[in-house]
């Protein structure tokens, strides 16, 4: 049989809000998200909460439970005392939309800024071959479900909003690490990019990202610290730089990845050329080809505004809508295949076509 438990849930929106008290029934085996659903089904039908899989794999139900960033669906009620009041609040680092739902678009903007995978120019898609031992480190980071708990807990932006433009956050540091360690990625300047444009230097290794990761990714030890060490190789290690100068390993012309946004002393010199210290196995010609003609900061047009009615809302049914079916999730102004100028991706062999 269930028992009655005390909950305090933050209710409100961007104009303000406060913690509201609820007494809810809790049954054996339930998680916090179950309780949110019970509240929605009973006394708070207008309680807003984002969720999808209820299995810890979609990363939607990120919230703060008793002050700790957690997934609602992975926090068992049995971990609390029966007499304990459970406080549930939205993620603090991101703007609130309503109740427990926050606007996490900061993360999608940072995702767009992160340079994509750059495969070798002379290997066709489908012909990628790599050894398990080489790709293993990258695979750890592929476990990320993008719940953004690490982004939320990171004090660099949680406590200092002004750092948001300069700091991409732990989720994108492990993305950079994943690609830098990838055996088939040909970019050689991901370390410089992470330092100059992603704000790697802001991280002070306090490991909260690792503490909150529901996928138990060792974000700091396996992602951020190796990236810091790789940046040290390039920028602070005169022995390595001397070795590179003498042996001129993997020297390639540099493209515009660290472009206009990073003016100032932190920007790597574009004339110095960059070198591969990662096993010396790169084909410099392939790297140059892969990097040519890609502008990672290209402004992709925004989709048009939704077709709302006079009340500012989307039509609820086809009967009240002027089109034959539901609106396209990609925007009705988008046709397929997408026109090339709307893409932020350049095929390595684009010049041949």
Partner 1 sequence: MTSTATRPRGARARAAIAAKTLRTDRWWFAPLITVVGLTAWVAYATVRVYLHNWYWVEDFHYLTPFYSPCITDRCVEGAAHFGRILPDWWIIPEAAFTLPFLLLFRLTCYYYRKAYYRSFWLSPPACAVPDGHQTYSGETRFPLLGQNLHRYFFYAAVIISLINSWDAVLAFHSPKGFGFGLGNLILIGNVVMLWAYTISCHSCRHIIGGRLKHFSKHPLRYRAWTFVSWLNVRHMQLAWITLGTLALTDFYVMAVAADWIPDLRFIN
Residues in region 16-35 near partner 1 by CB under 8 A: 16-19
Q: For residue 181, what are its two tokens?
A: 């360690």
Regarding beta strands 62-65 and 86-89, do their DSSP bridges make them parallel or antiparallel, or are they unpaired? antiparallel
Q: Which of 219, 228, 287, 294 binds partner 1 (CB under 8 A)?
A: 228
Using the rule CB under 8 A, is 204 a contact of partner 1?
yes
Q: For residue 106, what are its two tokens?
A: 């900061």
Using the rule CB under 8 A, is 12 a contact of partner 1?
yes
Give the span between the Cα atoms of 334 and 352, in whole angstroms: 27
Q: Which of 112, 142, 143, 160 binds partner 1 (CB under 8 A)?
A: 160
Q: Torsions phi, psi of 134, nearest 5?
A: -80, -30
Give the span between the Cα atoms of 163 and 338, in whole angstroms: 34
Partners of 9 in beta bridges: 20, 88
Asked if 288 contacts 256 with a C-beta cutoff of 8 angstroms, the reply is no
**Residue 172 three-state SS:** helix
Q: Which of 277, 296, 346, 348 binds partner 1 (CB under 8 A)?
A: 277
Q: Which of 56, 57, 201, 292 binds partner 1 (CB under 8 A)?
A: 201
DSSP 305: P
Best CA proximity match to 200, nearest among 219, 181, 227: 227
Q: For residue 261, what are its two tokens?
A: 């946004």
Q: For residue 65, what are its two tokens?
A: 């439970």
Shortest Å distance, C-beta 1 to partner 1: 26
Using the rule CB under 8 A, is 36 a contact of partner 1?
no
Using the rule CB under 8 A, is 231 a contact of partner 1?
yes
Q: Which of 271, 281, 317, 320 binds partner 1 (CB under 8 A)?
A: 281
Residue numbers 286-315 binding partner 1 by CB under 8 A? 302-307, 314
User: Which is closer to partner 1, CB of 104 or CB of 144?
Assistant: 104
Q: Which of 1, 55, 133, 316 binds partner 1 (CB under 8 A)?
A: 133
Give the span between the Cα atoms of 62 and 109, in whole angstroms: 19
User: Which is closer to partner 1, CB of 216 or CB of 352?
Assistant: 216
Site size with partner 1, rule: CB under 8 A: 87
Using the rule CB under 8 A, is 327 a contact of partner 1?
yes
Query: How far is C-alpha 310 from the geometric centre of its chain's CA atoms?
Result: 36
Residue numbers 48-107 binding partner 1 by CB under 8 A? 64, 66-69, 84, 87, 89-90, 92-97, 102-103, 105
Q: What is the dihedral of CA 47, 48, 54, 58, to 10 degrees?
A: -170
Shortest Å distance, C-beta 127 to partner 1: 18
Using the rule CB under 8 A, is 122 a contact of partner 1?
no
User: Which is closer to partner 1, CB of 18 or CB of 28?
Assistant: 18
How far CA 171 is from CA of 96, 111, 125, 148, in Å, comes to 20, 9, 26, 7
Using the rule CB under 8 A, is 249 a contact of partner 1?
no
Q: Which of 58, 123, 225, 288 binds partner 1 (CB under 8 A)?
A: 225
Shortest Å distance, C-beta 256 to partner 1: 23
């Amino acid at each position: 049989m269930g028992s009655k438990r005390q909950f305090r849930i933050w209710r409100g929106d961007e104009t303000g809000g406060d913690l509201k008290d609820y007494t809810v029934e809790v049954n054996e085996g339930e998680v916090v998200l179950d309780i949110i659903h019970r509240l929605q089904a009973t006394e708070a039908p207008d309680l807003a909460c984002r969720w999808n899989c209820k299995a810890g794999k979609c990363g939607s139900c990120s919230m703060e439970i008793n002050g700790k960033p957690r997934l609602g669906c992975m926090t068992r009620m049995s971990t609390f005392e029966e007499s304990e009041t459970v406080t549930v609040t939205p993620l603090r680092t991101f703007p609130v939309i309503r109740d427990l739902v926050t606007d996490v678009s900061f993360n999608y903007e940072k995702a767009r800024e992160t340079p994509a995978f750059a495969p070798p120019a002379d290997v066709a898609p489908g012909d990628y071959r790599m050894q398990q031992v080489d790709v293993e480190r990258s695979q750890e980071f592929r476990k990320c479900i993008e719940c953004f708990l690490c982004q939320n807990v990171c004090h660099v932006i949680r406590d200092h909003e002004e750092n948001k433009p300069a700091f991409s956050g732990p989720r994108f540091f492990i993305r950079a690490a994943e690609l830098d360690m990838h055996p088939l990625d040909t970019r050689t300047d991901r370390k410089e990019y992470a330092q100059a444009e992603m704000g790697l230097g802001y991280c002070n290794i306090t490991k909260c990202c690792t503490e909150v990761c529901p996928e138990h990714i060792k974000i700091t030890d396996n992602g951020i610290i190796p990236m810091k060490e790789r940046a040290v190789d390039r920028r602070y290690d005169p022995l390595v730089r001397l070795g590179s100068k003498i042996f001129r390993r993997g020297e390639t012309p540099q493209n515009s990845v660290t472009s206009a946004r990073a003016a100032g002393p932190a920007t790597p010199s574009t004339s110095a050329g960059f070198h591969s210290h990662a096993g010396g196995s790169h084909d410099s010609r392939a790297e140059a080809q892969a990097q040519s003609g890609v502008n990672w900061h290209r402004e992709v047009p925004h989709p048009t505004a939704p077709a709302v009615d006079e009340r500012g809302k989307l039509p609820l049914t086809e009967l009240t809508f002027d089109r034959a079916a539901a609106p396209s999730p990609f925007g009705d102004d988008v046709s397929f295949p997408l026109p090339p100028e709307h893409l932020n991706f350049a095929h390595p062999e684009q010049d041949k076509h």
